[in-house]
Structures are given as C-alpha cells and as structure tokens.
Amino acid sequence: MSKQYITYNQIHKLCAESANKILSSDFTPDVILAIGGGGYIPARILRTFLKVPIKSVSLELYDDITDKMGDSVLIKQWCSNDDIEGKNVLIVDEVDDTRSTLYTCVEKVLESKPKKVGAFVLYNKLKNKHKGNHWDNEKAEKDHVNVDHYLVGAEVDDVWLVYPWEALDIDEHNSKAQ
C-alpha cells in the first residue's frame, strides 16, 4: 500500500478550513469529543476556532483471530453522560478508514441523547465501509446510527497515511511529505 506523509501545516489548514465551514453552518458544537489518540491534535486545533471544550474518549479496533479485523471496536475510555446529553456534539478523529471506529462512537454517543451529532475527520478514505456507506448517500435515514453533519477535511484514496505525530524525526518526515 502506498504511503502519504502528512505535515502539521496541512493538518492545521484542514482544521481551519473545516472550522470555518462548521461556523458558517447551522450546526453549532457545544463540545468536541476527541477520539484518542489520532483525534487529539485535530481537536485541539479546532478548539482554537470553535472555542468549545474538548472531552476525550478512546476506542480500539478489536484485533482477534476469531474476529474480522476492523469489525469490532472496544470502548477503552468514555466521558460522562453530562458531557453529551442535550448538547451538540462534534466527534473528531484523524481518519475514516473502514468507519468502524466512528460508527461505534456515534452509536455510543446517541445512547446519551445528544441534541445533534456532528462528525469530523481530517481524511476520509474512499472505499467501502464495513458498517455500510450510509452518511454519504440517501440510505442514511434508514440507519439508526446517523449523524446530522459529516464533515471531511480531505477525501483520499485507500493509501496509508503517515501522521507527523508518529514521526521520530520530524525533519525527515517533512522531507518525505514534499
């Protein structure tokens, strides 16, 4: 699989552009729900523009030989019900790959009766999603796990994204990104 190296500058700009889209939409987030660890840095950049608190949660793809990779997601850490109930919640992650993580997160958020749910990812990979391709098409309303707003920084092919926070040598990483 080919690799695409991403710089902090690119991430900051995607967040800034997306925050402006959110600010000019009819969805006003009350809280950002950052999915750790990839959602933390995008969430913090978004907060500069959106000026709302960040709560963090942690979900992990369940990697078991009896289970198909990417189908099951474990919730490792969650926030309090009060962080979500009656609020406009903006879920933030770095990538929508198979969508399993985001789907599970939305499903769990909906249990706490939010007012509205938005989801933002820096990158959406253009591929079939394990939980179905709704959110992108007219099938959306047929699924109980739905979002009011789905916002993507950039659409990408099914490549392997290498983020700057994974770099041991950031200068080398940046030169690979050129």
Q: Least separation, in Å, of the C-beta of 51 and ligand 5GP? A: 25
Distances (CA, A) of 175 to 5, 6, 43, 136, 171: 9, 10, 25, 34, 6
> 102 or 145, CB closer to ligand 5GP?
102
> 18 or 100, CB closer to ligand 5GP?
100
H helix and E strand count, the chain: 4, 8
Q: Least separation, in Å, of the C-beta of 156 and ligand 5GP? A: 8
Where residue 108 falls (left for φ over 0; alpha for ψ -120 to 50; beta otherwise) is alpha
Q: Which residues bind ligand 5GP (CB under 6 A)?
A: 38, 61, 70, 93, 95-102, 160-161, 163
> 42 or 114, CB closer to ligand 5GP?
42
Q: Are 155 and 4 in contact (CB under 8 A)?
A: no
Among 97, 136, 158, 171, the active-site one is 97
* Catalytic site includes residue 63: no
Q: Which residues are catalytic?
A: 97
